[in-house]
Amino acid sequence: MLLILSVALSYLIGSIPSAYILGRLARGIDIRKHGSGNVGATNAFRVLGPYIGITVLFLDGLKGLICVAPLADFIIQQGLGLDSLLLRILLGIAAVAGHSLTIFLRFKGGKGMATTLGVLIGFALKFPALKIILLAEILLWLAVFSISRIVSLASIVSAALFPVFFIILKQPIPLILMALTLAIFVIIRHKSNIYRLLHKQEPRLNLRRKP
């Protein structure tokens, strides 16, 4: 029962729509009706400006981190014999699912990359060997974005290689399956971006653009 409740709580934490809330508070707008209509950091950056966009990125990542680290730690400390690794994996996946399929916005949320990064940070804090994967993912994303200036392309490439890094570093099978699950999920969430990329219609992100 505690496992079910913790997964449900992680989903709810992940479901908190940071971009939507900040759009309402800071600009008095529904971000779903502006830009790409996506409730994520990239659209927040374009519509609400860089400061709010970066804040949304931080908050969306924080959701994944909270679920995998402090929330999982609390549940493990209850001494109910739950497997630590499996628990963190389930809570991490639930957080990403909540972000992308938020119950607060009729199951229409972000693409999941920022929250996935937060999940990876949480795992890296608990399992130092994963810090190499975290660094590789960040550098890969930055490299692709620096060359293309296309956020979706950087996210798709990073997601595609996410499980590859786990395999190369010979991580446990459950972690590899988690990475594969999150990678497939994030890529599927980017299907409209993939269509635009194939047709050379995907917009580039201007870092100097003002709202």
Three-state secondary structure of 86-120? HHHHHHHHHHHHHHHCCHHHCCCCCCCHHHHHHHH
Distance CA 52, CA 100 (A): 19
- Does residue 117 lie within any of the structural domains? yes
**pLDDT (tens place) for every residue of the chain, 211 residues total:** 788 999 999 999 999 999 999 999 999 999 999 999 999 999 999 999 999 999 999 999 999 999 999 999 999 888 777 789 999 999 999 999 999 999 999 999 999 999 999 999 999 999 999 999 999 999 999 999 999 999 999 999 999 999 999 999 999 999 999 999 999 999 999 999 999 999 999 999 877 654 4
- Does residue 122 lie within any of the structural domains? yes
- Does residue 57 lie within any of the structural domains? yes
Distance CA 39, CA 4 (A): 27
Q: 156 near 189, Cβ under 8 Å?
A: no
Q: Which domain holds residue 42?
A: 2-198
- Does residue 207 lie within any of the structural domains? no
- Does residue 106 lie within any of the structural domains? yes
Distance CA 183, CA 162 (A): 6
- Does residue 54 lie within any of the structural domains? yes
- Does residue 59 lie within any of the structural domains? yes
Q: How many domains does the chain have?
A: 1
pTM of the model: 0.94
